[in-house]
């Protein structure tokens, strides 16, 4: 079974530029998560989708961040414009449902460097 | 915000020794989960322990939960070089709330 796929794995951009990350969850997983992980820290949830509906986006900085999950399968996370403080690893995860007891499967992440 | 806090922040042991990592949290939980993250890779779920459970085993892993002290421990027995990774505890406050991760313990197992 293929795992969660993310691309690109690495991205280097200059500040004020836009950037987008793509995630393809495990087939059949209805719930998709985007996390941000700063160096030396644990992941922090940005947004959670149940199918195509964003059910928890309270931690998403909506002035510059946006996400979509068209057709309830793969998802895109965008930052526009990027700031120096956005340098981090962006992780995508999926689970079969959104219950707190459900195992989440994580992708390898996209490491973003903003210069 | 991070609810769980792992201790120690870093741990270095010899291959074959046991490794113990602790996690403390602040509020009542539904369950607590442990994840491993190897350098440059995503997180892998290791084990989940529910609030009404006290101990769980999975292979060389043993997890305990003490809800009165709001703490959990992860024991890795007979460690191997491949166990070198960061280990995170994550808590779930209620049935449908998201995982809240701690800052992690960096474990180095020296061959």
Q: Across chain B, which distance is largest between two alpha carbons, in Å?
A: 42
User: ∠ CA A104-A43-A68 to the nearest 5 degrees?
Assistant: 70
- The phi-psi region of residue B70 (left if phi > 0; otherwise alpha if psi is between -120 and 50; otherwise beta) is left
The Cα of B41 is separated from the nearest Cα of chain A by a number of Å equal to 5
Greater model confidence, A45 or B93: A45
Distance from CA of B48 to the nearest CA of A (A): 8
What pLDDT sits at residue A103? 87
Measured between alpha carbons, how far is A74 from B53 in angstroms, rounded to an integer?
A: 36
pLDDT tens, A16-30? 999 999 999 999 999
* pLDDT at B5 (0 to 100): 84
DSSP symbol at A8: -
Q: List pLDDT tens digits, range B30-84.
A: 999 999 999 767 899 999 999 999 999 999 999 999 999 999 999 999 999 999 9
Tell me which chain A residue has its CA closest to the CA of residue B105: A40
- Find chain B residues with C-beta within 8 A of A33's C-beta: 98
DSSP classification of residue A96: S
In this complex, the residue of B41, B48, B96 whose CB is nearest that of residue A98 is B96
Helices H, strands E: what count in chain B? 0, 11
By three-state DSSP, how is residue B36 classified? strand
- Cβ distance B103 to A48 less than 8 Å, yes or no, reads no
Instruction: Using a pLDDT cut of 90, give the percent of chain A over it.
Output: 84
**Cβ pair B39, B21 in contact under 8 A:** no
Distance between CA atoms of residues A57 and A75, nearest Å: 14
| B interface residues, A as partner, C-beta within 8 Å | 2, 4, 30-31, 40-45, 48, 50, 88, 90, 92-104
3-state secondary structure (DSSP) of residue B58: strand
What digits encode the pLDDT tens for the residues B23-32?
A: 999 989 999 9
- The pLDDT of residue B4 is 76
pLDDT tier, B2 (very low <50, low <70, confident <90, very high otherwise): low
| Pick among B24, B43, B48, B90 to test the A interface (most A CBs inside 10 A) | B43
Give the span between the Cα atoms of B95 and A22, in whole angstroms: 28
Cβ–Cβ under 8 Å, residues A64 and A50: no
The pLDDT of residue B40: 65
Name the strand (E) or helix (H) holding B7.
strand B5-7
């Amino acid at each position: 079974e293929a795992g969660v796929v993310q691309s690109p794995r690495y991205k280097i951009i200059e500040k004020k530029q836009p950037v987008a990350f793509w995630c393809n969850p495990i087939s059949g997983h209805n719930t998709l998560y985007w996390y941000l992980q700063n160096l030396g820290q644990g992941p922090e949830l940005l947004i959670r989708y149940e199918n195509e509906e964003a059910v928890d986006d309270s931690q998403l900085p909506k002035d510059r961040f946006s996400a979509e999950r068209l057709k309830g399968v793969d998802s895109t996370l965008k930052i526009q414009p990027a700031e120096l403080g956005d340098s981090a690893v962006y992780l995508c995860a999926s689970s079969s449902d959104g219950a707190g007891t459900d195992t989440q499967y994580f992708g390898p992440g996209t490491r973003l460097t903003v210069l | 915000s991070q609810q769980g806090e792992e201790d120690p922040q870093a741990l270095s042991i010899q291959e074959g020794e046991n490794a113990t990592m602790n996690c403390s949290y602040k509020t009542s939980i539904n369950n607590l989960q442990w994840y491993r993250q190897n350098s440059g890779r995503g997180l892998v779920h290791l084990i989940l322990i529910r609030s009404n459970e006290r101990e769980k085993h999975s292979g060389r892993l043993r997890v305990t939960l003490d809800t009165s002290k709001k703490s959990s421990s992860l024991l890795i027995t007979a460690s191997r070089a491949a166990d070198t990774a960061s280990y995170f505890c994550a808590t779930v406050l209620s049935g449908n709330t998201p995982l809240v991760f701690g800052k992690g313990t960096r474990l180095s197992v020296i061959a």
